[in-house]
Amino acid sequence: MQTACPHCDHIIDIPHVVAKQMAVCPHCHSKLCAANINYDSRVVALSISALLMLLSSMFYPFISFSSNGITQTITLPDAARILFNYDSDLLAIFIDVSIIGLPMALLTTLIPLHLGLLKVLPQTIARRLLKFTLALEPWIMSEIFLIGVLVSMVKIMSLAEVNFGVSFWAYTAFVILYIGSLAHLNRARLWEQVQPQVGIAAAKLSYRAIDSNIRACHVCHQLSDSQYCSRCNSKTHIRNPHSVQKATAWLITSIACYIPANLLPIMYTTSLGDESPSTLIGGVITLWQAGSYPIALIIFLASVVVPLAKALILTFLCFLVSRPANSQTKGYTRVYQLTEFIGKWSMIDVFVVAILVALVQLGNLMSVTPGLGTVFFTIMVICQMLAAHAFDPRLLWDPPSNDKKTIN
């Protein structure tokens, strides 16, 4: 099987990969593919189980919060519903979509896809359905939401009694099953069901795809010498058009949101009628002073250090595009991969605020309301994810003379 490494653009002729093996690019050491094993039955079983657990978590008590004889119990949908009540519509929609809507849509489509639906559908419909399904995964944040729930519990356990309901354990089971389903997802096998991969004539192959004017489809990784992929019909490019410009624009937007996200309150806490604002740094300090050092460190790294470091790293990578590749380029590629992977984990603090707002509603005795800083923080993380997605790491390996080819 022939492919072009999506991170360095070197054309690789991958030999047959057996179970427990994976193919790695010999130039940048990026993972290219794993063994082409039929995991259809496992994915179907795990997806059905995960879907049942997700549906079960919607209708039973999720968490209960008791203080001075007053108890507040919430269900999973309450996390977004109460945000709507405080006119935080954007945040509420994002939470509903990322932790309920998208995972439900992904699991619902994975089941028929692994039961052979792609083989019987018309090719046009099959390719659109598969492209839609695979595009959902980066925006699903169920596991991050679950970590956010645990962090929020640490914040309020010293103030009141907290009990986990049936829905919490069902949602935990859903996250475990969902991760297991994705771990067995064989994307290459699904695309083979739409249309088998077609190789490029050996005479056209050279050291890198760009040198032979060969385009690697960013969706199904089919090699092509035309402007449209013959398998998934996506428009192909030698390099992603205006990659650096798009990444820079998203970065500037994220930095503009980073400042108010850290300066404005992310939530307001009312205790016995006295309202006090809380910023990101303020929340970290409060956790540290309470002795929750590991949780304080996690929040500080995920919400303060990681977004700033990611912005600086992506800015540095955009600068490196104008310089020729060197012995450090492999390391820069690995840094980009790490940056892309950890991007959405900064969303932990957003989910912490959502849980606290939904759970701590005891009137003047104690209540939590969302602050404008949460909105800016959410936009900042989304912009950084889009910046990482827009950046084309293959540009790091291109000599400056290839700059004109990057927009074709």
Evaluate whether residue 235 is within a structural domain.
no
Rounded CA-CA distance 113/351 in Å is 31
The confidence band for 401, taking pLDDT boundaries of 50, 70 and 90, is low
Instruction: Check pLDDT > 80 for residue 199.
Output: no
Evaluate whether residue 306 is within a structural domain.
yes
Within this chain, do residues 135 and 203 fall inside the same structural domain, yes or no?
Answer: no
Query: Per the structure, how many domains does the chain have?
Result: 3
Identify the pLDDT of residue 299: 77
| Helix, strand, coil percentages, rounded to 5, for the chain | 60, 10, 30
Task: Please report, for the chain, how many H helices and E strands are present, in that order.
Answer: 16, 12
Instruction: Check pLDDT > 80 for residue 201.
Output: no
Rounded CA-CA distance 101/109 in Å is 12
Within this chain, do residues 165 and 277 fall inside the same structural domain, yes or no?
Answer: no
Distance of CA 311 to the CA centre of its chain: 16
Within this chain, do residues 129 and 220 fall inside the same structural domain, yes or no?
Answer: no
Identify the pLDDT of residue 225: 80
Cα–Cα distance list, 105 to 49, 134, 389 (Å): 14, 11, 22
Evaluate whether residue 226 is within a structural domain.
yes
Evaluate whether residue 279 is within a structural domain.
yes
Identify the pLDDT of residue 158: 65
Evaluate whether residue 354 is within a structural domain.
yes
SS3 letters across 222-287: CEECCCECCCCCCECCCCCCCHHHHHHHHHHHHHHHHHHHHHCCCEEEEECCEEEEECHHHHHHHH
Rounded CA-CA distance 382/398 in Å is 28
Instruction: Check pLDDT > 70 for residue 203.
Output: no
Distance of CA 140 to the CA centre of its chain: 6
Within this chain, do residues 220 and 247 fall inside the same structural domain, yes or no?
Answer: no
Within this chain, do residues 162 and 291 fall inside the same structural domain, yes or no?
Answer: no
Rounded CA-CA distance 47/41 in Å is 10
- Which one, of 384, 341, 372, 343, lies nearest residue 255 by Cα? 384
Among 208, 230, 252, residue at a domain's last position? 230
Phi, psi of 366 (to 5 degrees): -170, 130
**Host H or E run for residue 164:** strand 161-164
**Rg (the chain; Cα; Å):** 24
Instruction: Check pLDDT > 70 for residue 254.
Output: yes
Which of 169-178, 320-329, 374-383 is the least confident region?
Answer: 320-329
Phi, psi of 402 (to 5 degrees): -90, 5
Within this chain, do residues 257 and 397 fall inside the same structural domain, yes or no?
Answer: yes
Rounded CA-CA distance 129/109 in Å is 8
Within this chain, do residues 155 and 276 fall inside the same structural domain, yes or no?
Answer: no
Within this chain, do residues 291 and 383 fall inside the same structural domain, yes or no?
Answer: yes
Within this chain, do residues 74 and 131 fall inside the same structural domain, yes or no?
Answer: yes
Within this chain, do residues 123 and 180 fall inside the same structural domain, yes or no?
Answer: yes
**Percent of the chain at pLDDT above 90?**
23
pLDDT tens by residue, 136-184: 988 899 999 998 888 888 777 766 678 888 999 999 999 999 999 998 8
Evaluate whether residue 266 is within a structural domain.
yes
Residue in the block written with tokens 């959405």: 344
- Which one, of 72, 46, 82, 52, lies nearest residue 167 by Cα? 52
Residue in the block written with tokens 């820069």: 332
Within this chain, do residues 381 and 278 fall inside the same structural domain, yes or no?
Answer: yes
**Host H or E run for residue 170:** helix 166-183
Identify the pLDDT of residue 49: 95
Show Cβ contacts of residue 30 under 8 Å, excluding neighbours closer than 6 positions. Answer: 5, 6, 7, 8, 24, 333, 337
Evaluate whether residue 406 is within a structural domain.
no
Cα–Cα distance list, 64 to 55, 188, 361, 378 (Å): 19, 44, 11, 26
Identify the pLDDT of residue 293: 76
Most confidently predicted of 147-151, 224-228, 241-245, 292-296: 241-245
CATH of the domain at 286: 1.20.140
Mean pLDDT on 31-56: 89
Instruction: Check pLDDT > 60 for residue 204.
Output: no
The confidence band for 407, taking pLDDT boundaries of 50, 70 and 90, is very low
Instruction: Check pLDDT > 70 for residue 354.
Output: yes
Evaluate whether residue 324 is within a structural domain.
yes
Mean pLDDT on 290-310: 80
**Percent of the chain at pLDDT above 70?**
92
Within this chain, do residues 90 and 175 fall inside the same structural domain, yes or no?
Answer: yes
Structural domain that includes position 104 = 39-195
